[in-house]
């Protein structure tokens, strides 16, 4: 039995999803030879630390009742630096302005000699090369499957399952909110504003939907793909972005008549990063509906490999985080 000690930094929907998954998977993981213990959890009000392993059910209940997991006042950085553990699971909210607090947390973790698993897009979109090099220089793993595509394991697929292939390009639909809105507009012939309102009522779109519908979220994910898979040193400014707010039901109907759908497609090729609405043939592997995410990977040997699945959700995101934790458990 290999014991892996981890911390969970950030205890919102994703952090709680990780705790819940670990709780439900304890026996399963032990059968596979891994005893994964959470020795610290941190949220904005403080931390719980237990070097023998936190009672996760208790922590989840406390968070629910008191709004915080904190039972002492140590902050995230103190937990990361001072408590001995193997992996920092950094799942604080994405901040695309300066990447904080995630950026500082990841830097501290790598500096303290701890592997990092994160769902936080900010630090990776802003400082990919710096963080990747810091990890490599210290012989540490930095893994971020959950940053792009939710449950869809794009990075693991490319780096491991398609190892040996050169990647020529990637096209994807990486924002479930936009995909939902376009799918509903097409199916119901409803205008953008009405469908957006419906999506907001269902919790699929935020009150301020700008980040999703203007293509910003998609562009950030594309930057992480470009840097991770194509070894670029891109930032948000390098992406040519058009959102979905100008699309009319008439345009969708015309597309439909010609056996096309309109999708907000992200594309990366050697030297070009684009997010824009595009016509996709209905039978094309990219033409997935609803809130699904999809990535189509063009390779030299395998040809086009397309993978789709749920792009959001706390348990779905936890799935990607768990596979990263297990990768590190197997390879460290």
- Closest approach of Cβ 44 to a copy of itself, in Å? 26
Which one of residues 13, 77, 96, 162 is an interface residue with a copy of itself (CB under 8 A)?
162
Q: Does 279 bind a copy of itself (CB under 8 A)?
A: no
What are the angstrom distances between the C-alpha of 213 and each of 26, 170, 241, 295, 305?
39, 21, 11, 19, 27
Which one of residues 1, 65, 139, 164 is an interface residue with a copy of itself (CB under 8 A)?
164
- Closest approach of Cβ 289 to a copy of itself, in Å? 5
Cβ nearer to a copy of itself, comparing 34 with 48: 34
- Residues for the chain: how many in total? 332
d(CA 88, CA 79): 10
Q: Does 200 bind a copy of itself (CB under 8 A)?
A: no
Which one of residues 26, 44, 138, 156 is an interface residue with a copy of itself (CB under 8 A)?
156
Sequence-ordered alpha helix ranges (H) in 262-304: none
Cβ nearer to a copy of itself, comparing 48 with 90: 90
User: Is the bond leading into 63 cis (omega within 30 degrees of zero)?
Assistant: no
Sequence-ordered alpha helix ranges (H) in 140-248: 154-156, 176-188, 192-201, 210-213, 216-230
Taking CB under 8 A as the criterion, which residues in 10-39 touch a copy of itself? Answer: 21, 25, 28-29
How many chain residues interact with a copy of itself (CB under 8 A)? Answer: 46
- Which residues are known catalytic residues? 221
d(CA 71, CA 48): 5
d(CA 304, CA 302): 6
Chain residues binding a copy of itself by CB under 8 A are: 21, 25, 28-29, 145, 151-153, 156-157, 160-166, 282-283, 285, 287-289, 292, 299, 301-310, 313, 315-316, 318-320, 322-323, 325-327
């Amino acid at each position: 039995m290999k014991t892996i000690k981890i911390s969970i930094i950030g205890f919102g929907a994703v952090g709680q999803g990780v705790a819940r998954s670990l709780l439900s998977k304890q026996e399963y993981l032990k059968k596979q030879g891994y005893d994964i213990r959470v020795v610290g959890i941190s949220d904005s009000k403080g931390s719980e630390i237990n070097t023998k392993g936190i009672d996760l059910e208790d922590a989840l209940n406390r968070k629910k009742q008191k709004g915080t997991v904190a039972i002492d006042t140590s902050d995230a950085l103190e937990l990361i630096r001072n408590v001995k553990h193997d992996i920092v699971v950094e799942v604080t909210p994405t901040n695309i302005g300066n990447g904080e607090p995630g950026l500082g947390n990841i830097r501290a973790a790598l500096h303290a000699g701890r592997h990092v698993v994160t769902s936080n897009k900010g630090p990776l979109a802003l400082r990919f090369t710096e963080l990747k090099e810091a990890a490599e220089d210290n012989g540490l793993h930095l893994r971020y499957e959950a940053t792009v595509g939710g449950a869809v394991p794009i990075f693991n697929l490319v780096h491991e399952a398609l190892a040996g292939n050169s990647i020529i390009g990637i096209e994807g639909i990486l924002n479930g909110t936009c995909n939902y809105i376009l799918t509903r507009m097409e199916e119901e012939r409803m205008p953008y504003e009405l469908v957006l309102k419906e999506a907001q009522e269902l919790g699929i779109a935020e009150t301020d939907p700008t980040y999703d519908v203007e293509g910003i979220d998609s562009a950030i994910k594309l930057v992480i793909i470009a840097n991770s898979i194509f070894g670029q040193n891109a930032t948000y400014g390098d992406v040519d972005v058009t959102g979905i707010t100008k699309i009319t039901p008439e345009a969708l109907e015309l597309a439909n008549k010609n056996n096309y759908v309109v999708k907000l497609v992200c594309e990366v090729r050697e030297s070009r990063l684009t997010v824009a609405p595009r016509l996709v043939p209905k039978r094309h592997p990219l033409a997935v509906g609803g809130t699904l995410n999809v990535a189509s990977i063009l390779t030299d040997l395998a040809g086009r490999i397309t993978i789709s699945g749920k792009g959001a959700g706390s348990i779905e995101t936890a799935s990607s985080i768990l596979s990263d934790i297990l990768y590190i458990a197997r390879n460290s």
